[in-house]
Chain A
Amino acid sequence: MRALVLLALASPAMAEPVVPVFTEETVPSGLATSFEGDWEYMVGGGVATFDCSGDGKPEVFLSGGVGLSALYVNRSPVGGALAFENTGALELDAVLGAYPLDVDSDGIMDLVVLRLGENRVMRGLGDCRFEQSAWGFDGGDAWSTAFAAIWERGQTWPTLAVGNYVDRKEEAFPWGSCTDNWLHRPGPDGQGFAPPIPLTPSFCALSMIFTDWNRSGQPALRVSNDREYYKGGQEQLWHLDPGAAPRLYTEAEGWKRLRIWGMGIAAADVNRDGFQDYFLTSMADNKLQFLKDPATGLPDYADLAFKSGVTAHRPYTGGDFKPSTAWHPQFADVNNDGWLDLFVAKGNVAKMPDFAAEDPNNLLLGQPDGVFVEAGDRAGVASMGIARGAQVVDLNLDGLLDLVVVNRWAPAQVWRQTGTPGGTWVQVRLQQDGANRDAIGAVVEVRRGAVVERHEIAAGGGHASGSVGWLHYGLGEADSAELRVIWPDGTEGAWQTLPAGSFQILRPDAPAEAWLPQ
């Protein structure tokens, strides 16, 4: 079945995809935060992008490790050079990663901060000011390295999943010491958080994401785990039925044991069959999983990374050909040609001699035949920094996706896309009244000819990095986008035709509202 889908996507004469051009603007932009620290900071190093100033442009929050984290307000002119100003807010130590989430649905973005030690949920106050929330969130005391959030059906308060890593107090025998992941469900009155539920067994999660993998309308929790430290572990998929205790998918339900150095998850409908596909980062070969046969209802995935050209198992430039170490993955249509591309942040754990020391980030461009081609070096983003988290996001609202990458022991880097776009685009923002203002858990369907590309709107995944804001879709040569939203409560919005090159705010039962960046 999968082969048929790939064949259907093939075009008789394929042109080389348009290679986007990026210009690094780290120093002039004003970003100057490094992810510092020794052993306890070998993982993590996330970045969060979200608008807290109200101008629609994404601000940038950078983890600092043993140094201080920093929130940079975005001063970039629309379409112009990137410019950021350190707000001095959210200067926290021991930060490993962060995810934006409007927890209390007040229309002001909050920020979940993963730390070595106590995690924090910082309540947004407006104008990029934050305070420690008083929502009963138990931040615990662990090495927190993964996050995902969802509004469970009928709830007005989100459920947060936090992934934890090794027991950092173990010195000689840390292996097998993975500490419990936590599920923070809403409190009994639907506001605030109940004490966390341990997601036992836990296997040193480095990424997690809520995903409706089988289109049942009931998201499950996918967890990618680092086999370096677990014993008896594997990748995981949890049932999360409303009101019921979480429980693992089992072998009897079709779940297949997979043991990798799981470091990051990117989910997208890569092959346009309406189901989410998953790219899992690891060391050496990475995985690209397609559901083998949706009709069976079994969570049984085929790894088509090799066939799709996305193993990204060793550096493709720079002369160091030892195996790679991959962290943050993200699908996005970087060149606006209508095909999803894949960015992968790369970097050695810490001077591991058997793995590449010069390990360039990947920018793999999607093509109609399902095979990706490497363009990181040609695009100008093949940094040899020791990368960890990242976000592919339009920082200056010109319709071209830009890139920010956190590096270990070196300043985060930011690139502005400056070349000629390979197609048109549309960007939408989902907004709904009441709980879950940003419609986490919704699906945006984009019709492309005879097929529909299905995008889950998730809070989580990647590597310690997340974003809430404009959702970008490349359109190729089209002068408009045809799309609809399936809202988190299952309501199917009407198909809408939106003009290319525009920003649109979408609400349930309302026509799209055009928005102009200032």
Chain B
Amino acid sequence: MQFRRRQVLGFTIAAPVALKFSPALAADRADVSREVVLMWHRLILELVRHTATYVPPVAARAFAYIGITAHEALASGDGRLVSLAGQLNGLAPLPARADGAFDAPCVLHAALQGAVAELFGNTGPTGQRAIQAMGRKMGETASAGIDAAVVERSVAHGAAVAGHILAWARGDGGAVIENMGFPMEYTPGTRPQDWVPTNLIRLQQAPLLPQWAGCRTFAIPAADACDAPPHPAYDEVAGSAFHDHAREVHEIGRGLTDEQKLIARFWSDDPMLTPTPAGHWIAIVLQIAERDALPVEVISATLAKLGVAQADAFISCWSTKFKYNLLRPVTYIRRHIDPAWEPLLITPPFPEYTSGHSTQSGAASTVLAAMLGEDFAFDDETHVDEGLPVRSFPSFAAAAEEAAVSRLYGGIHFRFGNEAGLVQGRQVGAFAAALRTEA
């Protein structure tokens, strides 16, 4: 770990705090705030995994709104922080605090509780039970030892912050997800290079969220603002550039090393089985925040910018995907190279170009490098619970590049889709990185 424990963005780094429910000490409200943010996010990662509509673009959207909520809850009472209102598309100024004293952990808790309750209102009975339990326990933690009037005032303000952001969120075009994101009807393209379903799951005979590019963007000016250039010209002739790219996927897939298999599975980040690609990067931030005791202001600003970058990355990527509507490697390879070929990973049910994971990883790495440093080494233990080992990276960029190439190892993307995705994502991420969160 190369992180230097001194100051990040002007905020002094606190002592490490274990992630557990513990009585808050009134003298150390910053640590309590950190605990509130980290514990709610730990739950949110689980809710993303266990809520049926939380496919990757939808998950990224939720992470963005929740990160923004945390930042705004703090910014409303801290002159060192700058609100994102006016910087993010359509976000009007947040409610001002009333007169009187406020407690930051209570404001944070109420804001996050309100945001989670609505954004995950459709989660199942276990998720609802967990939200209730977390609300109860974090409420007790945040309010322990705090004057009741201050708690009441703070909770009301936190709820108002959440309400403002949720009202903004409802109008972005992505609030309602039906049929787990798959259209009930779909007319496939007729060109030979057009995407076709790649599995025998009845629900997935239409592509995921074909209208997602119509969602309001957060920081980029429009969905197509960072569009990727055209992919190599489609060609079925052996020796053509396109055919060579497909042959590369096929050959790599047939000769995968154990390390390549591990990389593919580490970044697979399947919806319903993991917190999705966006959640993977959120988990990385939470791990760093815990290990290095980042100040809550830094955590919240990082989560907000990261969320914005990833949400915009998916909108941008989906705009490109449905512009080109390119088939997946498995389709091309089975048609033209090897009818019996099986990729290592399950091919996602939507067009290939550009790679979603590559795009959002490019965006995420750009934001994190801007926030925490270009050569910030870190360990990633996101999937330890799943039985996958910890992986170490010298920088966020290196992690993003591995995430991108993992899709080639997994047999679900061409190399050009990954590389163009990374470039696209970095462009998207630059918009989020440029957001001002400090005075």
Contact = CB atoms under 8 A, between A and B. Distances in A.
B222 to A, nearest CB: 30
A198 interface: no
B423 to A, nearest CB: 33
A39 B133 CA distance: 14
Given A175-B50, A352-B52, A321 B184 contact: yes
B260 to A, nearest CB: 16
B124 A350 contact: yes
Nearest to A174: B126
A337 interface: no
Interface residues of B, number: 32
B137 interface: yes
B330 to A, nearest CB: 16
Interface stretch (B5-13, B79-87, B199-207): B199-207
A240 B121 CA distance: 44
Contacts of A306: 200-202
Main secondary structure of the interface of B (DSSP, over half): helix
A71 interface: no
B53 interface: yes
A172 B130 contact: yes
Contact of A232 (B124, B130, B133, B385): B385
Contacts of B201: 284-285, 306, 311, 313
A173 B180 CA distance: 24
Contacts of B179: 321-323
A171 B52 contact: no
A99 B202 CA distance: 33
B43 A173 contact: yes
Contacts of A283: 52
A200 to B, nearest CB: 13
Given A305-B200, A307-B200, A352-B125, A172 B180 contact: no
B137 A172 contact: yes
A322 B122 CA distance: 13
A231 interface: yes
Given A259-B273, A306-B202, A322-B179, A353 B122 contact: yes
A175 B121 CA distance: 18
B46 interface: yes
B180 A323 contact: yes
B259 to A, nearest CB: 17
Contact of A284 (B53, B203, B386): B203
Interface string A158-170: 0000000010000
Q: Identify which of A172, A228, A229, A311 gathers the most chain B CB atoms within 10 Å of its CB.
A: A172
Given A175-B46, A232-B385, A350 B129 contact: no
Interface string A348-380: 011111110000000000000000000000000
B49 to A, nearest CB: 7
A228 B53 CA distance: 14
Contacts of B177: 354
| List of 10 A-B pairs having minimum Cβ-Cβ separation, nearest first | A171-B133, A232-B387, A311-B202, A172-B133, A306-B200, A231-B385, A232-B386, A354-B52, A350-B125, A313-B202
Given A175-B49, A231-B386, A232-B385, 4 more contacts: A166-B126, A284-B203, A307-B200, A354-B177
26 contacts: A39-B129, A42-B125, A171-B129, A171-B130, A172-B130, A172-B134, A173-B42, A173-B46, A174-B129, A175-B46, A176-B385, A228-B126, A231-B386, A231-B387, A259-B273, A284-B201, A284-B202, A284-B203, A303-B200, A307-B200, A322-B179, A323-B179, A323-B180, A354-B51, A354-B53, A354-B177
Interface of B: 42-43, 46, 49-53, 121-122, 124-126, 129-130, 133-134, 137, 177-180, 184, 200-203, 272-273, 385-387
